[in-house]
Homo-oligomer: A and B are copies of this chain.
Amino acid sequence: MPHAYETDGAAIYRQSFATIRAEADLARFSVEEEPVAVRMIHAAGMVELAPHIRFSPGFAEAARAALAAGAPILCDARMVSEGVTRSRLPADNTVLCTLHEPSVPQLAQDMANTRSAAALELWRPHLAGAVVAIGNAPTALFHLLNMLEDPDCPRPAAIIGCPVGFVGAAESKAALWEAPPVPCCIVEGRLGGSAITVATINALASRAE
C-alpha cells in the first residue's frame, strides 16, 4: 500500500517551524534574530542547536540591509552557493563561490594553504559591503580574519561564520566571535556546515516563512 504523507510544501514548513518554536528555547533571540535561528535549527534538524547559535549585536539588521541594498553573497563552497534560494533574494543579488576558479590550485600552493582559503583572495574586488557565508572550511574563516587584519582590506557588511568539523572549526569561530571585525553570526563548537549557513542566508534574504 502506498505510504501516505504530507505533500504540501507550505504545510511542511508551517508544521516544521511550529515544532521548532514549541521545542527550542528561543527566548534570548531578538525579533530580528529569531526567524534566522529557527531556519538554522530547521536545516540542522536539531532543536539542540539553539544554545550554540550566537549573533553579534546588529548582525541581523546589517546583513538584511546589505542584502536589500544589493550586496553580493560570497560563499566558501558550492554546497553553500547552490543552496541559496534565488527567489528569496531581495535584489537579485550575486551569489559567488570562487573555489573552483582555475587559478585557485596554484594560488593555494603558493600560499601553502588550502584551496578553500586561497579562493578568498579572489573575493577582494567583491568584499566591500558583501555578506560573507562560510559554511564549510575553517581555513577559509581563519584566512578571512587574517585578510581583515590589514586595514586596507575592504570590509564586508556581515560575516556568517559556520564552518563545521573537528580541526579548526571551533577555533576559527571562537576567533571571529572574540574580535569580530564586522557584525557576525556563528554556531559555537564543531557544529555548522553548508545547510545551516544556507538557512541563515535564506532567512536574512526574506521574512517570508
Docked-complex contact B3 and A166, CB < 8 angstroms: no
B191 contacts A194, CB within 8 Å? no
Q: For chain A, residues 67 to 91, give those with C-beta under 8 angstroms from any C-beta of chain B.
A: 78-79, 82-83
A sample of 11 inter-chain contacts (CB < 8 A) reads A3-B146, A5-B139, A19-B166, A45-B164, A45-B166, A78-B82, A79-B79, A79-B195, A82-B82, A193-B195, A194-B194
Taking a contact as CB atoms under 8 Å apart, the answer to whether A190 and B46 are in contact is yes
**In the complex, how many angstroms separate the beta carbon of A127 from the nearest chain B beta carbon?**
18
Give A contacts to B, CB under 8 Å.
Answer: 1-3, 5-9, 12, 15-16, 19-20, 42-46, 78-79, 82-83, 111-115, 117, 138-139, 142, 145-146, 149, 164-169, 171-172, 175, 189-195, 198
Which listed residue, B12, B83, B168, touches A12 by the CB 8 Å rule?
B168
B78 A191 Cβ-Cβ under 8 A:
no
**A146:B2 contact, CB within 8 angstroms:** yes
Across-interface contacts of A111 in B (CB, < 8 A): 7
Q: For residue A6, which residues in chain B have a CB less than 8 angstroms away from its CB?
A: 139, 167-168
- Bound together, the chains give a CA A164 to CA B169 distance in angstroms of 22
> Is there an interface contact between B43 and A9, defined as CB atoms closer than 8 Å?
no
Contact A175 B3 (CB under 8 A): yes
Chain B residues with Cβ under 8 A from A5's Cβ? 138-139, 142, 168, 171-172
C-alpha gap A12/B191 in the complex (Å):
16
A146 to B112, CA, bound (A): 51
Quick check: A15 and B167 within 8 Å, CB to CB?
yes
Task: Kindly list 4 other residue pairs between chains A and B, CB separation below 8 angstroms, not including A5-B138, A7-B139, A42-B165.
Answer: A6-B139, A44-B193, A45-B166, A45-B193
Interfacial chain B residues near A19, Cβ < 8 Å: 166-167
CB A130 to nearest CB in B, in angstroms, measures 21
Q: Report the separation of the CA atoms of residues A190 and B15 in the bound assembly, to the nearest whole angstrom.
A: 14
User: Which of B8, B45, B117, B165 makes the CB contact (< 8 A) with A45?
Assistant: B165
